[in-house]
């Protein structure tokens, strides 16, 4: 897949890794003919040591997606676990591009992701034991399988650039492939006339085996696999290719396998490892709670497996397709995408921003989600579920609106809880822009889409007798109908306040936007804080924090303003005091809100409740850090928990870089964390005190730094020269920092070691996986 040429402005990213990766002597991987990849000195960088400490291990046999190793590159996803047969391992193949194309039905059915199938590795005897390591640093799964007839050693990776599964084996076993029925696994609102796609075609092309799956709508997808003897080991290469409307991808898949197997294995492994090694060195997080630290690094690995700027935006399952499927077969835009992506910003990985890229590529499809009577060429909305190209598919069964599925019409029986989907999703683009400060994102993606998204709401605002602008009946997500719904009002207020700041000065809509921002009705409140809407209070547990968006993530009211604290505290305590209906993502949301309110112990408590694998209704974090709700895989909850870790360590909104704002530990080390304003921050905390902070500016934005240090300070550049700075508050300074320069802040007269470190563990913790 070619990257978007316009997106090369994302500094520091690369889509093709340079050669030069390293390997550590004594590691369990043994790719044939790759001996020169080893580092005879056994050197190990700090990043490598920290990332490898997070490796997942399996000493027990995985049995399904919820406890198995996982590999991916944003397109091809692989999960490895024991099959139903006692002597078979399954390598479940999935692909983020593979979907149906019957747009006459709602997206979760007609544009549904489709199962592909699984490779089988069959042994002469029954599997009795495994000893596996998922090596995050190199994104490779290695280990042994013990059976009643002997053992087999293997190494597996999904090649970063080639979208190909490579598995090297030593031992007695045979490969095969089992295609799965090509039909949606959704069981909700499936039309009676729905039929599965045709039976696939199978065959060989030379030494390659293929399964070609045509689609009823045209096109299809093909799986090709082939083995080759390389030294003493047998190498399998497998790939999946998708085509629509005329091509099933078979020719491309065969060509890919032939080229991969013709390439020197040494070159393939080196290039793959080089990308992943470079990926991890863009930032660093180390804290004493190693369960949290390891979880964080696994989520970083998971996110890079699941999404890339040139890949589809994540569905509920990422690039993976869980065995047994489920009903979450598309892209969920009513919260799930919005909470999955934020941590790519702080962790300094803009190369994973598929959200901005998706809106750039496919924004014209947003008009399909607007009810027909309101389509005017200047209005966008986003119905869900949708597909990776922002199409909503046909109407849901029972809908009274013909044509495409839409967000409905506020104030009528067709209203839905989806009117805010697009504004919330575009807020993700705004946050991404603020972390890079690239004006092309602002001017070419954010401004034009945001103005059309707000325009949908403007069609329904009415002036009341109080002179305020009110919104007719909509639905607060997953809760209740309400006029002046807080969820919608908070998004309208954010958009109408922001647009005059980012629009061209001659935009004729600026006066209207300013009027809306000035006259939009306030949120309805009661003794418990902000309500759901006019006359509708929160009276029972609610997993969704939609009525609190004004606090998080919109930051309309902030803890920095003493006048906002009471309403923030009352609203949060009321919501968080009723948890019986909470889901996994509710806990990271509560953790992040606690960090915003300067409550580090509370923030950690909410986070650890999720990470400690407590059962939450019918949901739980699983041993491999995947999240299971009922029988369904949902990728967003663990990913948003990684953002909660960052919220304890760094914060930058509104317009203040805050270092260790809500840290619950006495020690921490961070490096390369990206903040709004396009600053990169390194810092060290030791024995409950911040030792030093280093901030590098990529955009020349004004730097206001809340350092949290006591006593006199030295503020110098990289070369030790004093920089101009001024005190704004007891713990806050302003520094004149040109683009490309850095400021080092230390206690006066000290010269601390400015290198990041892996802080000591506070307790011994077991690794993730099945140890």
Among candidate residues 344, 339, 243, 246, the one with its CA nearest the CA of residue 13: 344
- The pLDDT of residue 30 is 58
- The pLDDT assigned to 12 comes to 32
Task: Note the pLDDT of residue 15.
Answer: 29
* pLDDT per position as a tens digit, 197-219: 999 999 999 999 999 999 999 99
Instruction: Please count the other Cβ atoms lying within 10 Å of the Cβ belonging to residue 570.
Output: 16
Angle, alpha carbons 445-447-450 (nearest 5°): 95
Backbone CA torsion sign across 566, 571, 574, 579? negative
Strand intervals (E) in 196-355: 201-205, 208-214, 220-230, 233-243, 284-286
pLDDT, tens digit (0-9, with 9 covering 90-100), for 321-340: 999 899 999 999 999 999 99
d(CA 224, CA 256): 9
Residues 6+ apart with CB under 8 A from 119: 90, 91, 93, 165, 175, 176, 177, 178, 225, 236, 238
The answer for residues whose C-beta is within 8 angstroms of residue 412's C-beta and 6 or more apart is: none
Q: How many CB atoms lie within 10 A of CB 104?
A: 14
Whether pLDDT at 10 is above 50: no
Residue 229 has pLDDT above 50, yes or no: yes
Residues 698-754 have pLDDT tens digits of 999 999 999 999 999 999 999 999 999 999 999 999 999 999 999 999 999 999 999
Could you tell me what percent of the chain has a pLDDT over 90?
A: 92
At residue 7 the predicted structure's pLDDT band, cuts being 50, 70 and 90, is very low
Torsion from C-alpha of 657, 660, 663, 665, nearest 10 degrees = 170
How buried is residue 750: exposed, middle or buried, by Cβ count under 10 Å (0-12/13-18/19+)?
exposed
pLDDT tens digits, 394-432: 988 777 677 789 999 999 999 999 999 999 999 999 999
> How far apart are alpha carbons 385 and 39 in whole angstroms?
48
pLDDT of residue 404: 84
pLDDT digits (tens, 9 = 90+) for 77-99: 999 999 999 999 999 999 999 99
Q: In this structure, is the dihedral angle defined by the CA atoms of residues 592, 597, 598 and 599, taken in order, positive or negative? A: negative
Q: Residue 594: its pLDDT value, please?
A: 98
Q: Look at residue 97 in the predicted model and tell me its pLDDT.
A: 98
C-alpha neighbours within 13 Å on the C-beta side of residue 561: 11
Tell which residue, 225, 221, 224, has the closest CA to residue 249: 221
Asked if residue 561 has pLDDT above 50, the reply is yes
Q: Is the pLDDT of residue 629 over 80?
A: yes
In the numeric block, which tokens belong to residue 606? 């909410």
Provide DSSP, 627-666. EEETTEE-SHHHHHHHHHHHHHHEE-TTS-EEESTT--SS
Residue 691 pLDDT: 97
What are the pLDDT digits (tens) for 484-533?
999 999 999 999 999 999 999 999 999 999 999 999 999 999 999 999 99
Q: Is the pLDDT score of 598 beyond 70?
A: yes
- Whole-number Å distance between alpha carbons of 147 and 86: 9
Q: Which among 98, 561, 20 is positioned nearest to 329, based on CA atoms?
A: 98
Peptide bond into 654 cis (omega under 30): yes
Looking at every residue in the chain, the average pLDDT score rounds to 94
683: left (phi over 0), alpha (psi -120 to 50) or beta: beta
Q: Which range, of 284-293, 652-661, 687-696, averages the lowest pLDDT?
A: 652-661
Q: Note the helical H segments in 364-420.
A: none
Element (H, E) at 694: strand 689-697
Predicted local distance difference test score (pLDDT) of residue 324: 86
pLDDT digits (tens, 9 = 90+) for 234-247: 999 999 999 999 99
Omega prior to 385 cis, within 30 of 0: yes
With cut-offs at 50, 70 and 90, classify the pLDDT of residue 41: low
For residue 732, cis peptide bond before it (omega within 30 degrees of 0): no
């Amino acid at each position: 897949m070619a990257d978007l040429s316009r997106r090369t402005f994302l500094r520091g990213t690369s889509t093709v890794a340079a050669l030069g990766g390293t390997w550590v002597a004594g590691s369990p991987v043994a790719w044939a003919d790759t001996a020169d990849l080893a580092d005879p000195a056994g050197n190990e960088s700090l990043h490598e040591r920290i990332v490898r400490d997070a490796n997942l291990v399996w000493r027990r046999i995985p049995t399904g997606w919820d406890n198995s190793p996982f590999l991916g590159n944003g397109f091809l996803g692989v999960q490895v676990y024991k099959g139903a047969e006692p002597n078979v391992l399954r390598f479940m193949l999935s692909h983020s591009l593979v979907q149906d194309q019957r747009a006459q039905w709602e997206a979760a059915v007609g544009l549904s992701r489709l199962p592909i199938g699984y490779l089988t590795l069959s042994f002469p005897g029954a599997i009795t034991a495994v000893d596996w390591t998922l090596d995050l640093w190199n994104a490779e799964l290695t280990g042994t399988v013990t059976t009643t007839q002997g053992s087999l050693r293997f190494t597996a990776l999904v090649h970063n650039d080639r979208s190909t599964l490579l598995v090297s084996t030593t031992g007695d076993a045979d490969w095969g492939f089992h295609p799965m029925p090509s039909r949606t696994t959704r069981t909700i609102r499936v039309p009676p006339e729905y039929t599965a796609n045709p039976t696939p075609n199978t065959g060989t092309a030379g030494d390659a085996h293929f399964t070609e799956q045509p689609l009823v709508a045209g096109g299809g997808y093909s799986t090709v696999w082939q083995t080759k003897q390389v030294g003493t080991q047998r190498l399998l290469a497998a790939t999946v290719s998708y085509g629509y409307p005329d091509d099933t991808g078979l020719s491309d898949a065969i060509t890919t396998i032939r080229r991969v197997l013709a390439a020197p294995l040494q070159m393939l492994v080196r290039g793959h490892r080089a990308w992943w090694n470079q990926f991890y060195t863009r930032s660093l997080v180390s804290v004493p709670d190693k369960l949290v630290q390891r979880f964080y690094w696994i989520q970083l690995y998971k996110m890079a497996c699941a999404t890339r700027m040139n890949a589809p935006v994540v569905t509920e399952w990422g690039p993976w397709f869980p065995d047994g499927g489920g009903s979450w077969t598309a892209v969920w835009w009513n919260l799930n995408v919005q909470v999955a992506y934020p941590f790519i910003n702080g962790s300094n990985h803009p190369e994973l921003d598929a959200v901005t890229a998706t809106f750039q590529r496919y924004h014209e499809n947003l008009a399909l989600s607007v009810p027909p009577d309101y389509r005017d060429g200047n209005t966008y909305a986003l119905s869900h579920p949708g597909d990776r190209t922002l199409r909503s598919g046909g109407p849901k069964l029972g809908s009274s609106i013909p044509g495409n599925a839409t967000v409905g019409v506020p104030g009528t029986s067709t209203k839905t809880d989806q009117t805010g989907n697009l504004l919330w999703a575009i807020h993700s683009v705004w946050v991404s822009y603020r972390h890079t400060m690239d004006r092309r994102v602002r001017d070419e993606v954010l401004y034009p889409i945001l103005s059309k998204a707000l325009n949908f709401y403007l069609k329904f605002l009415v002036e009341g007798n109080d002179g305020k602008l009110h919104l007719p009946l909509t639905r607060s997500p997953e809760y209740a109908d309400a006029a002046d719904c807080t969820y919608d009002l908070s998004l309208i207020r954010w958009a109408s306040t922001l647009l005059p700041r980012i629009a061209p000065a001659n935009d004729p809509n600026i006066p209207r936007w300013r009027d809306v921002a000035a006259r939009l009705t306030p949120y309805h409140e009661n003794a418990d804080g902000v309500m759901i809407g006019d006359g509708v209070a929160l009276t029972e547990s609610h997993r969704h924090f939609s009525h609190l968006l004004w606090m998080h993530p919109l930051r309309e009211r902030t803890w920095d303003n003493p006048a906002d604290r009471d309403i923030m505290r009352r609203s949060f305590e009321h919501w968080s005091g009723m948890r019986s209906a909470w889901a996994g993502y509710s806990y990271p949301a509560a953790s992040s809100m606690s960090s915003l309110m300067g409550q580090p112990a509370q923030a950690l408590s909410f986070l650890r409740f999720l990470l400690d694998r407590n059962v939450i209704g019918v949901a739980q974090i699983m041993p491999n850090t995947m999240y299971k709700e009922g029988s369904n895989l949902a990728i967003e909850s663990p990913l948003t928990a990684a953002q909660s870790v960052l919220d304890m360590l760094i914060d930058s909104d509104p317009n203040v870089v805050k270092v260790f704002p809500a840290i619950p530990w006495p020690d921490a080390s961070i490096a390369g964390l990206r903040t709004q304003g396009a600053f990169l921050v390194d810092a060290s905390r030791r024995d409950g005190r911040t030792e030093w902070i280093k901030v590098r500016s990529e955009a020349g934005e004004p730097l206001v730094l809340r350092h949290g240090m006591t006593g006199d300070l030295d503020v110098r550049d990289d070369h030790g020269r004093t920089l101009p700075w001024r005190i704004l508050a007891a713990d806050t300074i302003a520094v004149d920092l040109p683009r490309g320069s850095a400021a080092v802040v230390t206690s006066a007269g000290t010269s601390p070691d400015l290198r990041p470190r892996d802080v000591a563990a506070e307790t011994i913790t077991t690794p993730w996986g099945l140890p």
